[in-house]
Amino acid sequence: MAMLLKLGYSVTVEADAGAASSFADAAYVEAGASIGDAAQSWAADIVLGVNAPSRHQLDMLRGGATFIGVLSPNLDPDLVEELASRPITALALDAVPRISRAQSLDVVSSMANIAGYRAVVEAAHAFGRFFTGQVTAAGKVPPAKVLVAGAGVAGLAAIGAAGSMGAIVRATDPRPEVADQVRSLGGEYLAIESPEVEVSATGYAKEMGDDYKRREAELYAAQAADVDIIITTALVPGRPAPRLISAEMVASMKSGSVIVDMAAQNGGNVEGVVPDQSIVTANGVTIIGYTDLAGRLPGQASQLYGTNLVNLLKLMTPAKDGQLVLDLDDAVQRSITVVRDGELMWPAPPVQVSAVRPATGAAAEPVTPHAKRRRSSTRRFTTVGIGTAVFLPLAALSPPALLGHLTVFVLAIVIGYYVIGHVHHALHTPLMSVTNAISGIVAVAAMVQIGHGSAGITALAATAILLASINIFGGFAVTHRMLAMFSRS
């Protein structure tokens, strides 16, 4: 509310609009807003809503007004036609493209994050057993096994929530780039080998072909008989939800198992799901088809959705003078514009958000794994040969005392290469922040040598102490900052 006032707007809130989210009208008044009835609220220049407006609500909009909300224009062509028949501007906040600078406006991701977490809560409630494994005097309790179909924002939130509760979590997704994200949350990524699998060019999953669907069905059939909980999140923008779990798969699940179909509103990923209801099959499997999962955490949903709206108004109010400016040259604003002053603007031109760097110049020659191994082996043998050619003359000319130290030095280089050199780059910082403590040995050795022998030895020892100290204190500083990222405030 305070941010909207800073942008130059005066704000009217419909009476009891925040009651379900535990935000009283008095709180809005205290923040600087006024309270009005429905007619007053819908007569504003800019109306910020949540769900698509009804015909009655559209009748209350005045000419030239702007409505911003979740419109689902791809799935509701009748609403788009109704909006285009009126002299208004309509912006679909759920049509924000998946590009970096639009993340703060992405209401789909905000709500999916909440819904994914809530799906696990609903599953745990219906499951009625521990998620984590336990060994007690009364016996051993195995951990629950959870399968998440679709590793988008909702799926990743579900993976994180189920994993934090101690369950064994597995996940599938047609986008191979999400595998590392699944593993980073403690889940196991179940890959489906198919020629159709490729990095997404839009950030969303695409409709797959028959070959992929056949292999996918085989995987789900095997997993359904093994897991306790299935959470499906698969959606293709603008299309009905793909069918992933058949009635036969449901029938193969153990009694007491739970399925949460997060795509129930768009037709469902599970055969037999009933939107907005929880049903129990003949073999005792609970199928949850709630379409208001984000709304079941109303306080959090309101907070995040409100932030998305404020960020959009910041973008569209460049002068901070309370005047909304719709810039159709901006890819984000153009993507969400359904109607402008009664002119139909939907569908918007696609925005390329490829995760793959576009090719430039001539096409690169494909490199086979065999060729990569051959190049790696050649490089390794060349390096070893050069090192040997340098080491042997040096060893022949060195005194016996130095030769022993030189041998230890070379062995240390080899061991260090295999301990650190083959570690994934993502782990270099935490690994080095700990292993740099080895620099303490260098510092102690240099302290022993300083002040003994020639000035050259003293200078070399002083340099070693300086560099080792930088490594030691830098390592502890980095470790402290990394640990602070995981601490709860």
Of the given ranges (120-129, 459-468, 478-487), which has the lowest mean pLDDT?
Answer: 478-487
Q: Rounded to an integer, what distance in angstroms lies between the CA atom of residue 467 and that of residue 458? A: 14
pLDDT of residue 357: 47
Report the share of the chain in percent with pLDDT over 70. Answer: 86
Q: Which tens digits make up the pLDDT trace of 20-52?
A: 888 999 999 999 999 999 999 999 999 999 989
pLDDT of amino acid 363? 45
**DSSP H/E element including 114:** helix 107-127
| The predicted structure's pLDDT at residue 394 | 74
Which helix (H) or strand (E) element contains residue 479? helix 455-485
C-alpha closest to that of 258 among 296, 233, 232, 228: 228
State how far the Cα of 381 lies from the Cα of 441, in Å rounded to an integer.
Answer: 31
3-state helix, strand, coil in the chain (%, to 5): 50, 10, 40
- The stretch 126-130 carries a mean pLDDT of 94
Q: What integer pLDDT is reported at residue 488 of this predicted model?
A: 55
Q: How far apart are CA 260 and CA 275, in angstroms?
A: 11
Q: What distance in Å separates the CA atoms of residue 235 and residue 394, rounded to the nearest whole number?
A: 66
DSSP labels for 335-391?
A: HHEEEETTEE-PSPPP----SSPPP-SSPPPP--HHHHHHHHHHHHHHHHHHHHHHH
- Tell me which of 433 and 232 has the higher pLDDT: 232
Residue 22's alpha-carbon distances to 185, 241, 256, 261, in angstroms, are: 32, 33, 34, 28
- Whether 364 shows a pLDDT value over 50: the answer reads no
Residue 450 has pLDDT above 90, yes or no: no
pLDDT at site 49: 93
Report helix, strand or coil for 450.
Answer: coil
Please tell me the distance from the alpha carbon of residue 361 to that of residue 321, in angstroms, as a whole number.
Answer: 47
Beta carbons of 53 and 69 less than 8 angstroms apart: yes
Q: How confident is the model at residue 479 (pLDDT cuts 50, 70, 90)?
A: confident
pLDDT value for 71: 93
Q: Among this protein's residues, is 103 annotated catalytic? A: yes
pLDDT, average across residues 91-104: 90
Structure tokens at 200: 């997404």
pLDDT of 367 above 60? no
d(CA 333, CA 338): 10
DSSP-assigned states of every residue in 126-169: HH-S-SS-EEETTEEEPPPEEEEE--SHHHHHHHHHHHHTT-EE
The active-site residue, picked from 41, 72, 94, 106, is 106
Q: What is the mean pLDDT of residues 288-303?
A: 95
Rounded-to-integer distance, Cα 252 and Cα 275, Å:
22
- State pLDDT tens for residues 341-358: 999 999 998 876 544 444
* Domains of the chain, first to last: 1-104+298-344 (3.40.50.720), 109-296 (3.40.50.720), 383-485 (no CATH)
- pLDDT of 278 > 90? The answer is yes
Distance set, CA 442 to CA 31, 34, 290, 421, 458 (Å): 60, 68, 62, 20, 14
Grade residue 459 by pLDDT with cuts at 50, 70 and 90. Answer: confident
Over 80: is that where the pLDDT of 361 sits? no
Catalytic residue among 9, 41, 94, 98: 98
> Which among 222, 224, 178 has a CA at the least distance from the CA of 204?
178
Hey, is 91 helix, strand or coil?
A: strand
Residue 362 has pLDDT above 50, yes or no: no
**Range from 13-27, 100-114, 281-295, 382-396 carrying the lowest mean pLDDT:** 382-396
- Pairing type for strands 145-149 and 134-136 reads unpaired
Q: Percent of the chain beyond pLDDT 90?
A: 57
- Look at residue 408 in the predicted model and tell me its pLDDT: 75
**447: confidence class by pLDDT, cuts 50, 70, 90:** confident
* Half-sphere exposure in the Cβ direction for 221 (13 Å, CA): 9
Say if CB 146 and CB 169 are below 8 A apart: yes
The catalytic position among 204, 212, 215, 296 is 204
**pLDDT at residue 215 greater than cutoff 80:** yes
| Per-residue model confidence (pLDDT) at position 360 | 45
The arithmetic mean of pLDDT across residues 454-478, rounded, is: 83
Q: Give mean pLDDT, residues 61-76.
A: 93
| Contact present, 174 and 197 (Cβ < 8 Å) | yes
From 22, 34, 54, 103, active-site residue: 103
Picking from 71-80, 131-140, 354-363, 454-463, which range would have the lowest pLDDT averaged per residue?
A: 354-363
Residues 3/314, Cβ–Cβ less than 8 Å? yes
Catalytic, 109? Answer yes
Predicted confidence band at 257 (pLDDT cuts at 50, 70, 90)?
Answer: very high
| Token pair of 475 as six digits | 């390592």
Report d(CA 219, CA 213) in Å as an integer.
10
Peptide bond into 347 cis (omega under 30): yes
The residue-averaged pLDDT of 69-84 equals 92
So what's the pLDDT on residue 471? 79
pTM (predicted TM-score): 0.69
Owner of token pair 């490594």: 471
Which residue matches tokens 């299935």? Answer: 230
Please confirm, yes or no, whether 98 is among the known catalytic residues: yes
- Mean pLDDT computed over 266-284: 95
Q: Please state the φ and ψ torsions of residue 435, each to the nearest 5 degrees.
A: -70, -15
Averaged confidence pLDDT in the chain: 86
- Residue with more model confidence, 278 or 374: 278
Confidence class of residue 208 from pLDDT cuts 50, 70 and 90? confident
- Asked if 202 and 98 touch (Cβ cutoff 8 Å), the reply is yes
Q: Where are the beta strands (DSSP E) in 158-199?
A: 168-172, 188-189
Query: Who contacts 191 (Cβ-Cβ below 8 Å, separation ≥6)?
Result: 172, 176, 179, 197
Q: What's the CA gap between 244 and 261, in Å, rounded? A: 10
Give the span between the Cα atoms of 168 and 188, in whole angstroms. 8
Quickly state the pLDDT bin for 2 (edges 50, 70, 90).
confident
Question: Which residues are CB-neighbours of 325 under 8 A, at least 6 positions away?
Answer: 316, 317, 318, 319
pLDDT of residue 290 exceeding 60:
yes
Answer with the residue of higher pLDDT: 235 or 90: 90
- Cα-trace Rg, the chain: 30
pLDDT of the residue at 247: 96
- 8 Å CB contact between 69 and 305: no
478: pLDDT strictly greater than 70: yes
- For residue 359, what pLDDT is reported? 46
pLDDT (mean) for 96-124: 93
Residue 125 pLDDT level (bands cut at 50, 70, 90): very high
263 pLDDT above the threshold of 50: yes
